[in-house]
A and B are shown apart, each in its own frame.
Chain A
């Protein structure tokens, strides 16, 4: 699953983390990066963000942190005037688990050095201790993150060596590891609480530390660059770039916010003012919002500003995108041409594949022959050829899935009829020519979707279940999910003798399937599947 935001490409990995396409270097984004620089991302940099009160500096920092947590970066928020509770309240839409895992809030003013508690030192010394303790805490966090990155990279490299074809998706967002984001909001409050010289020393040491660990950071300062003071100049010399915000009265008496990148070391940019809006939920929307480019896939509303993307589908909010992701997790990613599910039905599935088709000693010609023979044999079965009920056939390469929309007996009857025809076909054949199959039957809800060719397709728990049941079996097994078997047994007595429970089988995610096997002297395989034997 891919997400595109601010023209950057990301993938959602198996741990629901977001991966960048760029695996070579550690690159980061700041809010509005494309509008500000014309680039998708930049190397880790430290920024001074200057603007008068109310321009939106803290909201910009908030967006910087949200973007970081959504990308599984590690975020540190330093504020001398905020409490942990207030910090958390800034992110009502982020899961507490993600916030706990990927962020740390530090209020230097509330630091207490236990070693000095008994010491009756003066205020200045106390304040310096608090800044020193803050630096020590940040250093410890950075060291721990680096250690985790190194471990992840090490295991990732090991994984690559073991199987070069499988990309390790379980590690962090790039080969260099999890990016670090730091916000210091605001330096103005730092100067008031700790004094100028102590804070400048703190910023100097912190900036060196952050550069050493390749962190990105934003330091906010209330003021204006048009009349810079000595503090602004001093802080500017310690960072890589300067961002400036302004607030003007618009034509309709509304407030118009804008931001520009005044400077950034070594990166070409246009220092033009870029408009931005703060939305009702606190998000930042950059650029000309009069241009509506698309509609949200989930809610259908026009998207102002830069949309969020999941695959090719645009969204106007994280909430909409997450709802879409919940639905796609259930119904599959290509759920319809609009990206949304429309029709759910209960289907009885017959899932089959040819045993040993991928055997390397079997020529491609023989593989194709076997597939064609299987197709023909199924076509000869009455229940398939003459059934009046609606059905759907989905080729799978080495077999197929057939969904019957009405009669739960159809899939079992098809399996029985096919086994009868197979026994005739295989008579007198050599080992290499024998056509072996395994069959899984199951029923459940699926969505009707249109595939990329405009053909009708289905996806959902029903077809997944049948596939999993089939995967347990060996040659000649007709395995049946418990829900379908119990429905059939309740339907006709003859199925009681035909369908036998053979036990539980645990599949991935700890899910247990209760399996029945359909067999008699004429069809099926009375032996327990090897996978079940080995599991038990």
Chain B
């Protein structure tokens, strides 16, 4: 069953974009038709992440200036190789697909300030933009046969983040383990998420950048515990226990399950250049975590 999965957070810097991009790439590599949309319209970053300067942007579709075929860029090649494919050579509606051959398309949001202002246009314009956004979702599933639409949203409670949340079947609310993030997340869960979950959207928390792995992972020899979780030393075992305790507490306080706790990997966190870890280094503990997240969420969606 096709699904819209939205990555959201109360505050910025929680790792939404990294998680969404890696999650989308992993699903594509597993054989699904995946569309990753940058709906962080106020501070878009996926174009930098993928080093793309597309001819057309999501903004152009929302304003009615172009069609979806022109907006989504086929980046399937990065799942199976290293080259980007120009969208002129492959369109989603014509591309050959099979369950054994995953596809990854991206829709980018325009970072130019005048384009961002435009999406904050007048009342009537906003209604039209929202309508186009709903059409986009519908076309991705019906015309482009998407298995998954992954959406990277703006943090907080803003017009476009709420619009993105409204189309979600699954809501991933990412947060770091600091007090500010947790307090904000709790507030957002009670004020905003309940409206969406009432109508079937499934919310999950992803606790990201949990302390405890602040050395490059190559120097860590993973060991496997009886629980099946990977860790690296007795110190890490203790940190794992603390992490699980904080996950339980967070679940209780928010009423939402913590589906994953992602350690803070310094080699990713402080890398000068963004890259898709799940593709570059599938054995990385982060990649394993994303794999685990994908498996868990697929089970939860059944």
Contacts and interface: CB of A to CB of B under 8 A. Distances in A.
Given A325-B199, A326-B195, A326-B199, A344 B142 contact: no
Contact of B194 (A336, A445, A509): A509
Interface string A85-98: 00000001101110
Contacts of B198: 16, 326, 329
Contacts of B130: 340-341
A299 B134 contact: yes
Interface stretch (B100-108, B155-163, B216-224, B226-234): B155-163
B255 A300 contact: no
A461 B191 contact: yes
A319 B134 CA distance: 9
Contact of A342 (B126, B158, B255): B126
Interface string B111-131: 000000000000110111011
Contact of B126 (A343, A509, A511): A343
B31 interface: no
A299 B135 contact: yes
Interface of B: 1-2, 123-124, 126-128, 130-132, 134-135, 137-138, 142, 157-159, 162, 165-167, 187, 190-192, 194-196, 198-201, 255, 302
Contacts of B157: 344, 445, 461
Contacts of B131: 298-300, 340
Contacts of A329: 195-196, 198-199
Contact of B134 (A16, A298, A344, A483): A298
Contact of A326 (B127, B137, B166): B166
B138 to A, nearest CB: 6
A330 interface: yes
Contact of A16 (B1, B123, B132, B199): B199
B281 to A, nearest CB: 35
A319 B2 CA distance: 12
A323 interface: yes
Given A323-B167, A327-B166, A92 B2 contact: yes
A144 interface: no
Contacts of A280: 142
Contacts of B162: 327, 330, 341, 344
A301 interface: yes
Given A96-B302, A323-B167, A511-B190, A338 B127 contact: yes
Nearest to B169: A95
A397 interface: no
Interface string A335-349: 010101111100000
Interface in A29-75: none
Size category, A interface = 35 or more
Nearest to B193: A330
B194 A340 contact: no
A323 B166 contact: yes
A330 B134 contact: no
A326 B166 CA distance: 6
Contacts of A338: 127
A390 to B, nearest CB: 16
A333 to B, nearest CB: 12
Contact of B196 (A96, A326, A342): A326
A465 B191 CA distance: 9
A431 interface: no
A287 interface: no
Contacts of A95: 200
B110 to A, nearest CB: 21
A232 B218 CA distance: 74
A16 B1 CA distance: 23
A322 interface: yes
B204 to A, nearest CB: 16
B275 to A, nearest CB: 34
Contacts, number: 82
Given A92-B2, A323-B167, A340-B127, 20 more contacts: A96-B302, A280-B142, A298-B131, A300-B132, A320-B134, A326-B196, A326-B201, A327-B162, A330-B166, A330-B196, A336-B123, A340-B131, A342-B123, A343-B123, A344-B162, A444-B191, A461-B191, A465-B191, A510-B255, A511-B190
A409 B207 CA distance: 35
Contact of B135 (A96, A281, A301, A445): A301
Contacts of B126: 342-343
Contacts of B192: 330, 461
Nearest to A279: B142
A280 B126 CA distance: 28
A342 B127 contact: yes
Interface of A: 16, 92-93, 95-97, 280-281, 298-301, 317, 319-320, 322-323, 325-327, 329-330, 336, 338, 340-344, 444-445, 461, 465, 483, 509-511
A341 B123 CA distance: 9
A293 to B, nearest CB: 18
A330 B195 contact: yes
A513 to B, nearest CB: 9
A90 B54 CA distance: 38
Nearest to B253: A512
A341 B162 CA distance: 10
10 cross-chain pairs, A with B, having the tightest CB-CB distances, nearest first: A330-B195, A300-B131, A329-B195, A461-B191, A342-B123, A299-B134, A92-B1, A342-B126, A326-B166, A445-B157
A342 B131 CA distance: 11
B67 to A, nearest CB: 14
Nearest to A509: B194
| Residue from A16, A280, A299, A511 whose CB has the most chain B CB atoms within 10 Å | A299
Nearest to B159: A344
24 contacts: A92-B1, A92-B2, A93-B1, A96-B302, A298-B131, A298-B134, A299-B131, A317-B138, A319-B138, A320-B138, A322-B200, A326-B165, A327-B162, A329-B196, A329-B198, A330-B166, A336-B123, A340-B127, A340-B131, A341-B130, A444-B191, A461-B157, A461-B191, A509-B194
Given A298-B134, A299-B135, A343 B159 contact: yes
| Residue from A16, A93, A301, A330 whose CB has the most chain B CB atoms within 10 Å | A330
A490 to B, nearest CB: 12
Contacts of B2: 92
A336 B131 CA distance: 14
A95 B302 CA distance: 10
Nearest to A92: B1
B134 A323 contact: yes
Contacts of A510: 255
A280 B192 CA distance: 33
A69 B124 CA distance: 36
A338 B192 CA distance: 22
A280 B142 CA distance: 7
Contacts of A511: 190
